[in-house]
């Protein structure tokens, strides 16, 4: 359309004012709506009421009156322009409207050119950017917020995919784009979109054709973004197609709430067709002014239409403009217009372009509008810097048999809640998932149980399932021909079939073998084909590893797996010194040392009081050795007299018991069980060696060993079957094979001369692969947990994988591992501590006795070396002497000292008392110390 043509038409709405008018008698405002629509009817009544209220208040415009000149666009931008031509001489300072975003996109460039503000509460396309259209102002929350609310609802209920139905116009199309962006932020998506002809041109046939396609889709959550006439037609046809039954979820934008609020009563057909639908309604806080206006509404409308929130926005928009004009006049502004030089050369055409002028005060009036700070019927009215309203919010309604019920609210400040958004504005903003709440919902079909939101599509197409065409380990997956038909069987297939049977819906599918049939296929390639939608799923012995989870979603593992090392082992022959194998050399050495230590400690404790531990030095040495080693068999003949000696012996006999039992068990195993040995003890020795390593073709083991273990690729040898494993291991082509445990267990059931070395060095499992965000993956995981709980998984495992193993296969891990010193370190520590404490107590007792019984030396020379040496020799002699003999000797010495006059009378008396005390009392005292 020619810009001059648009400008000439737009002037019919904006007009001009005489340059000298300071305060005009009438302030004229244009309004462009389709008055046959619900919002058009409501807006017309509300704007007229606002006009009357403004004019009845002289404090607003003073001596001026506001006049709203309304034009009926009748669903057509062209007809709206024709209607405006009749008012060529009408002068307006602003335009309320247009009603739809298509006309907003057309008229906004003209508003930019002529500086005439456009104010709309129904053209809510989120792409009408203030940067591109500075003179276009949306006085109600645009669809960006409405789509955020819907995305939050979908996330709240846990749905991952939705289907979008919309009218093919700017507002609906761009609203769905905004919804897609908001869903992506919540890890959800629109899986299918379908466009209807622009409202109201859609026919039942058009709608039915599109709904038939939607019915074939997997997603059962449907978002309907259109207008009332098309929207009600969609629900009528959906009802006929059975799409308003249990399992479906319908969410509409605010158009349905306008129908519910403004159309009363609904027809029986319409009421039945929208049961269970969720819809949004712009939230307007309760207030006395709002209730008063609602009371007036019946008289204003004569009962022709009910009031909805857009009527409140229409009323507030007029008041917003009136306050901006009031401020404009107070600022000394005048309604003057200047010629537009851009179209000066076009004034001589057939169109009356001379009427086109730029509103000189348009920018000032626009700024006054954007600085609005008032309270209206819709609550506080104020704009953010991006021109969005403060705290946009919506009511969430659920349509039921008796009308509708409110199940919650949404606001950009607090998210979903069951209390009004105003209660949160005094608190810090919080949109965390834990704070989101909604009341219960009655869904289509009258059910209160939340729908799954997804079903397997009933479109006649079978699920294409890729299965590996294995040439080895065919117990897991293999194909065969039955009556000329290829049939896929195996452990993995049985698990999948058992899980499919537990799903609450049918899943038609067919297995497609993947591979050339000559070697095992690459499982990474198979997973890639699922990610690229060549296959709808992959079923088989597919390990769940990190790089694959980045491409697809896996089900719950149905079998545990992990990489292990298998290597050749040889039988150990019995040798003459086999009896030494149970203990390591360090263990033998520690045991022998403790035999001698304990024997020596017992000898020390018993030497002075036990005749069995006395005699010539040679005899005493033999006694120590004999006693020490005879305790091994509990055959010691010597009696233990002292309490400390008995304590040490009891602890040592307990240690000997444990050592004997361990030795006996290990030796029995060595002599009775077949022993296997190999230089490879696990993955660590394999990595540090320079030997070649085998792996199964198609397995992830190759990449794991290269990328995680840094094993050079030249050391890796690809093997295709158990027979190749055995041949390569026997010939020494590879030193070991690294593969997953389920394969190795089957391999070892037929090859008994190999063994698993060490432990599993990875932990994973096998699962079925599905495309990312596939709801079927979640459902399959759920039913496989049920298979595990009811024992069916174990039965399937026993059917395919339980085998009779070789007699020596139980020795997969070499049982000839010797007992290490660390295994008995605690016992030796306890015994050593007991010996030390016993010796310490005995030494204290000896010193005490020595001090009591040793005679005082005459004329001692303190500090001299000879005195210390003599004292030490005396103590050693005391320690070696039998206790009774030393007592007799000490008594005799004391008597000799007294008779030779070396003591005083008091000394003699005290000595006599000490001598007498050597009788039973002293003995008991000494025994107490020893004990």
Q: What is the DSSP string of 832-858?
A: HHHHHHHHHHHHHHHHHHHHHHSPPPS
**HEC secondary structure over 120-172:** ECCCCCCCCCCCCCCCEEECCCCHHHHHHHHHHHHHHHCCCEEEEEEECCHHH
Q: Which residue, among 429, 439, 434, has the nearest Cα to 408 in the 3D structure? A: 439
Q: Which residue, among 235, 256, 191, has the nearest Cα to 217 in the 3D structure? A: 191
333: tokens are 């502004």
The CATH H-level superfamily of 463-550 is: Periplasmic binding protein-like II (3.40.190.10)
Neighbours of 438 (CB within 10 A): 19
- Whether 238 and 194 have beta carbons less than 8 Å apart is answered as no
Per the DSSP assignment, residues forming a β-bridge with 676 are: 571
Q: What is the DSSP string of 511-574?
A: EEEES-SSSPPPHHHHHHHHHTTSSSEE-SS-B--HHHHTTSEE---SEEE-EEEEEE-EEPPP
- Whether 8 and 353 have beta carbons less than 8 Å apart is answered as yes
Return the pLDDT at 15. Answer: 44
Mean pLDDT by 10 residues, the chain (931 residues): 46 41 78 90 95 92 88 71 44 85 84 87 92 93 95 93 94 94 92 92 94 90 95 95 94 95 89 95 94 94 93 96 92 72 53 63 92 94 90 95 93 92 87 87 93 73 90 89 81 94 85 90 94 94 93 94 88 65 82 84 77 73 77 72 81 84 78 63 88 92 92 93 92 93 90 87 92 86 91 92 58 51 82 86 79 54 58 68 62 62 47 46 46 42
DSSP state of 461: P
Radius of gyration (C-alpha) of the chain in whole angstroms:
49
Could you check whether the bond before residue 265 is cis, i.e. omega within 30 degrees of 0?
yes
Return the pLDDT at 480. Answer: 81
The structure tokens 């004391």 sit at 894
Return the pLDDT at 629. Answer: 74
The CATH H-level superfamily of 26-139+305-381 is: Response regulator (3.40.50.2300)
- Whether 190 and 179 have beta carbons less than 8 Å apart is answered as yes
Indicate the SS3 state at residue 406: strand
The CATH H-level superfamily of 143-287+392-435 is: Response regulator (3.40.50.2300)
Return the pLDDT at 134. Answer: 94
Distance (Å, whole) CA 546 – CA 555? 14
- Whether 225 and 253 have beta carbons less than 8 Å apart is answered as yes
Instruction: Confirm whether 143-287+392-435 and 566-571+677-801 share one CATH topology.
Output: no
Alpha-helix residue ranges (DSSP H) falling in 1-92: 3-14, 38-55, 58-61, 77-85
Return the pLDDT at 44. Answer: 95
Residue 828 half-sphere exposure toward CB, CA atoms < 13 A: 19
Phi/psi class of residue 446: alpha, beta or left (left: φ > 0; alpha: ψ in -120 to 50)?
Answer: left
Distance (Å, whole) CA 269 – CA 240? 11
Strand duo 478-482 + 485-489: pairing: antiparallel
Return the pLDDT at 89. Answer: 45
DSSP state of 809: G
- Whether 553 and 777 have beta carbons less than 8 Å apart is answered as yes
386 alpha carbon, distance to own chain's centre: 35
Indicate the SS3 state at residue 550: coil
Handedness of CA 427, 433, 434, 438 (dihedral sign): positive
- Whether 470 and 520 have beta carbons less than 8 Å apart is answered as yes
Domain residue ranges of the chain, discontinuous segments joined by +: 26-139+305-381, 143-287+392-435, 463-550, 566-571+677-801, 578-672
Q: Which residue, among 369, 390, 383, has the nearest Cα to 117 in the 3D structure? A: 369
- Tell me the CA distances in angstroms from 659 to 491, 665, 818, 819, one per residue in order: 48, 10, 13, 10
Distance (Å, whole) CA 350 – CA 448? 66
Indicate the SS3 state at residue 649: helix
178: tokens are 């905004």
Q: What is the DSSP string of 268-285?
A: HHHHHHTTT-EEEEE---
- What class has domain 566-571+677-801? alpha beta
Backbone angles phi, psi at 431, to 5 degrees: -120, 25
Q: Which residue, among 283, 698, 757, has the nearest Cα to 470 in the 3D structure? A: 698
Return the pLDDT at 6. Answer: 46
Q: Which residue, among 153, 161, 90, has the nearest Cα to 279 in the 3D structure? A: 153
Handedness of CA 589, 592, 595, 598 (dihedral sign): negative
Distance (Å, whole) CA 806 – CA 585? 33
DSSP state of 438: -
Q: Which residue, among 448, 439, 471, 842, has the nearest Cα to 648 in the 3D structure? A: 842
pTM listed for this prediction? 0.66
Distance (Å, whole) CA 88 – CA 540? 77
Return the pLDDT at 793. Answer: 93
Indicate the SS3 state at residue 114: helix
Strand duo 537-538 + 463-468: pairing: parallel
794: tokens are 């174990």
- Whether 258 and 40 have beta carbons less than 8 Å apart is answered as no
The structure tokens 């050693």 sit at 876
The structure tokens 């929350």 sit at 141
- Whether 379 and 396 have beta carbons less than 8 Å apart is answered as no
844: tokens are 């204290």
Return the pLDDT at 916. Answer: 45
Backbone angles phi, psi at 290, to 5 degrees: -65, -45
Counting every residue written for the chain, the total comes to 931
């Amino acid at each position: 359309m020619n810009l001059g043509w648009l400008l000439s038409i737009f002037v019919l709405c904006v007009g001009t004012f005489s340059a000298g008018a300071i305060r005009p008698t009438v302030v004229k405002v244009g309004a462009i709506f389709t008055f046959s629509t619900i919002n058009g009817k409501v807006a017309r009544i509300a704007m007229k009421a606002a006009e009357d209220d403004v004019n009845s208040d002289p404090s607003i415009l003073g001596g001026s009156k506001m006049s709203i000149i309304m034009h009926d666009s009748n669903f057509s931008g062209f007809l709206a322009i024709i209607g405006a031509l009749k008012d060529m001489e009408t002068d307006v300072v602003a335009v309320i409207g247009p009603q739809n975003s298509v006309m907003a996109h057309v008229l906004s460039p003209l508003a930019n050119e002529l500086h005439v503000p456009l104010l709309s509460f129904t053209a809510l396309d989120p792409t009408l950017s203030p940067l591109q259209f500075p003179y276009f102002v949306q006085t109600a929350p645009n669809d960006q917020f409405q789509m955020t609310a819907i995305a939050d609802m979908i996330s709240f209920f846990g749905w991952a995919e939705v289907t979008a139905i919309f009218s093919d116009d700017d507002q609906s199309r761009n609203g769905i784009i905004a919804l897609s962006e908001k869903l992506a932020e919540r890890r959800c998506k629109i899986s299918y979109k379908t466009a209807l002809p622009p409202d109201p041109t859609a026919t039942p046939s058009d709608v039915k054709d599109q709904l038939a396609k939607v019915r074939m889709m997997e997603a059962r959550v449907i978002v309907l973004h259109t207008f009332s006439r098309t929207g009600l037609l969609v629900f009528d046809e959906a009802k006929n197609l059975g799409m308003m039954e249990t399992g479906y979820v319908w969410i509409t934008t605010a158009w349905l709430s306008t129908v519910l609020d403004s159309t009363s009563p609904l027809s029986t057909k319409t009421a039945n067709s929208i049961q269970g639908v969720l819809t949004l309604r712009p939230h307007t806080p309760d207030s006395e002014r709002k209730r008063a206006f609602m009371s007036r509404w019946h008289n204003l409308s004569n009962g022709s239409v009910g009031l909805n929130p857009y009527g409140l926005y229409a009323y507030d928009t007029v008041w917003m403009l009136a306050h901006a004009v009031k401020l404009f006049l107070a600022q000394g502004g005048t309604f003057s217009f200047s010629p537009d030089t851009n179209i000066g050369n076009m004034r001589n055409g057939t169109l009356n372009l001379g009427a086109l002028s730029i509103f000189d005060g348009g920018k000032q009036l626009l700024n006054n509008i954007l600085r609005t700070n008032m309270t209206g019927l819709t609550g506080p009215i104020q704009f953010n810097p991006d021109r969005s309203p403060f705290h946009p919010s919506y009511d969430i309604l659920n349509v039921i048999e008796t009308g509708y019920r409110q199940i919650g609210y949404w606001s950009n400040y607090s998210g979903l809640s069951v209390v009004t958004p105003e209660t949160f504005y005094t608190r810090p903003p919080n949109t965390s998932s834990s704070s989101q709440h909604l009341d219960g919902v009655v869904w289509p079909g009258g059910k209160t149980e939340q729908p799954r939101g997804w079903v397997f599509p009933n479109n006649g197409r079978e699920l294409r399932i890729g299965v590996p065409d294995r040439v080895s380990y065919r117990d897991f997956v293999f194909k065969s021909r039955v009556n000329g038909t290829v049939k896929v069987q195996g452990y993995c297939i049985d698990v999948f079939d058992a899980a499919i049977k537990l799903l609450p819906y049918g899943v038609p599918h067919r297995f497609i073998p993947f591979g050339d049939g000559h070697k095992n296929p690459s499982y990474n390639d198979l997973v890639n084909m699922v990610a690229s939608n060549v296959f709808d799923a992959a079923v088989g012995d597919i390990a769940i590893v990190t790089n694959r989870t980045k491409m697809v979603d896996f089900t719950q593992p149905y079998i545990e797996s992990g990489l292990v090392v298998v290597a050749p082992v040889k039988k150990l022959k019995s040798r003459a010194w086999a009896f030494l194998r149970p203990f390591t050399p360090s263990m033998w050495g520690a045991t022998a040392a403790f035999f001698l230590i304990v024997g020596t400690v017992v000898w020390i404790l018993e030497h002075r009081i036990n005749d069995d531990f006395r005699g010539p030095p040679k005899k005493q040495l033999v006694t120590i050795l004999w006693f020490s080693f005879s305790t091994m068999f509990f055959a010691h003949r010597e009696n233990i007299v002292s309490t400390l000696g008995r304590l040490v012996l009891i602890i040592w006999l307990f240690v000997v018991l444990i050592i004997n039992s361990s030795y006996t068990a290990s030796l029995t195993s060595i002599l009775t069980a077949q022993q296997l040995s190999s230089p490879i003890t696990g993955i660590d020795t394999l990595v540090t060696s320079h030997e070649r390593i085998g792996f199964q073709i198609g397995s992830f083991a190759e990449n794991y060993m290269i990328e995680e273990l840094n094993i050079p690729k030249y050391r890796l040898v690809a093997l295709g079957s158990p027979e190749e494993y055995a041949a390569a291991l026997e010939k020494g082509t590879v030193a070991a094979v690294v593969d997953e445990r389920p394969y190795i267990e089957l391999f070892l059931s037929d090859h008994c001369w190999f063994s698993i070395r060490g432990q599993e060095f990875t932990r994973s499992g096998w699962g079925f692969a599905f495309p990312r965000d596939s709801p079927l993956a979640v459902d399959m995981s759920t039913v496989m947990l049920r298979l595990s709980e009811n024992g069916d998984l174990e039965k399937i495992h026993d059917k395919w994988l339980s085998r009779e193993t070789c007699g020596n296969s139980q020795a997969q891990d070499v049982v000839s591992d010797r007992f290490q010193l660390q295994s008995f370190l605690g016992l030796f520590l306890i015994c050593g501590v007991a010996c030390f404490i016993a010796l310490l107590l005995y030494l204290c007792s000896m010193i005490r006795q020595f001090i009591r019984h040793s005679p005082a030396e005459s004329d001692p020379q303190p500090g001299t070396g000879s005195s210390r040496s003599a004292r030490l020799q005396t103590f050693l002699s005391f320690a070696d002497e039998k206790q009774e003999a030393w007592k007799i000797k000490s008594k005799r010495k004391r008597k000799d000292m007294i008779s030779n006059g070396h003591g005083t009378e008091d000394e003699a008396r005290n000595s006599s008392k000490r001598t007498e005390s050597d009788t039973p009392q002293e003995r008991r005292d000494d025994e107490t110390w020893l004990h």
